[in-house]
Amino acid sequence: SQKIEQNSEALNIQEGKTATLTCNYTNYSPAYLQWYRQDPGRGPVFLLLIRENEKEKRKERLKVTFDTTLKQSLFHITASQPADSATYLCALGRSGTYKYIFGTGTRLKVLA
Amino acid sequence: DAGVIQSPRHEVTEMGQEVTLRCKPISGHNSLFWYRQTMMRGLELLIYFNNNVPIDDSGMPEDRFSAKMPNASFSTLKIQPSEPRDSAVYFCASSPGRDNYGYTFGSGTRLTVV
């Protein structure tokens, strides 16, 4: 069955460093991959979408890569700040459907 | 726009009771999704609608769960009868239904069945 894996352990990094989160998937061929941020007690917030034919996408301090051969996406936050502390979720979707399946998320903590 | 509006924010009910969760999507969004989130299983898609029509309900766990979307501005998720294992946070999300847009999630309903 299809599976999305995100590091279940929390990631702690020092303020100013680059945070890198990983999303791996198996038994799935997504056309799109999204990243969301979720704060405690709130719904996920959409950050970025990348298509299967795009290798990289950037938005301000965020960068996402998508490698369909490795079946992996990397999510980078450069110059991280304590306000970036949250859980980050990846989500995969197929072409022709608006339905996405989500990973369980990785909790990021940026230390001041 | 006020975003996706869900009610109630919290619901505590006794096992066996009927529970109805409500959602108002963003105006103009023609896709609506119901997800359930637990620590163990993360975010699970229960059902989604496109133009008010249910497209995929394969995630609905049992016949005790039902969802409706009578018009473009309102959807309900009903659990009858509720069980303790239904305790979770239920999210509604909407999207314009185009491939380059993400979902907009509501704040969720935290359901506790005792």
pLDDT given at position B5:
97
From chain A, the residues in CB contact with B102 under 8 A are: 34, 36, 46-47, 49
pLDDT given at position B99:
67
pLDDT given at position A2:
77
Per the prediction, chain A carries an average pLDDT of: 93
Average pLDDT over residues A82-88: 97
Q: Please give the backbone phi and psi of residue B84, each rounded to the nearest 5 degrees, phi first.
A: -55, -35
- Which token pair is A76? 């980078």
How far, in Å, CA of B66 to CA of B105, rounded? 20
pLDDT given at position B98:
72
The model's confidence at residue A99, banded by pLDDT at 50, 70 and 90, is confident
> What does each of the 114 residues of chain B score in pLDDT, given as a tens digit?
689 999 999 999 999 999 999 999 999 999 999 999 998 889 999 999 999 999 999 999 889 999 999 999 999 999 999 999 999 999 999 998 776 688 999 999 999 999
Q: Which residues pair with A87 in a beta bridge?
A: A38, A107
Partner residue opposite B104 with nearest CB, options A46, A47, A98: A46
DSSP class of residue B72? T
Contact (Cβ atoms closer than 8 angstroms) between residue B50 and residue A98 = yes
* Contact assignment for B108 to A42 by CB distance below 8 Å: yes
Contact (Cβ atoms closer than 8 angstroms) between residue A63 and residue A56 = yes
* Contact assignment for B99 to A95 by CB distance below 8 Å: yes
pLDDT given at position B57:
93
CB atoms within 10 A of CB B111: 21
Q: How far is it between the farthest Cα atoms of chain A?
A: 44
Contact (Cβ atoms closer than 8 angstroms) between residue B46 and residue B34 = yes
How far, in Å, CA of B89 to CA of B113, rounded? 12
How far, in Å, CA of A100 to CA of A11, rounded? 25
CB atoms within 10 A of CB A65: 17
Residue B31's closest CA among B108, B96, B104?
B96
How far, in Å, CA of A12 to CA of A111, rounded? 7
Average pLDDT over residues A71-84: 97
From chain B, the residues in CB contact with A95 under 8 A are: 99
pLDDT given at position B1:
66
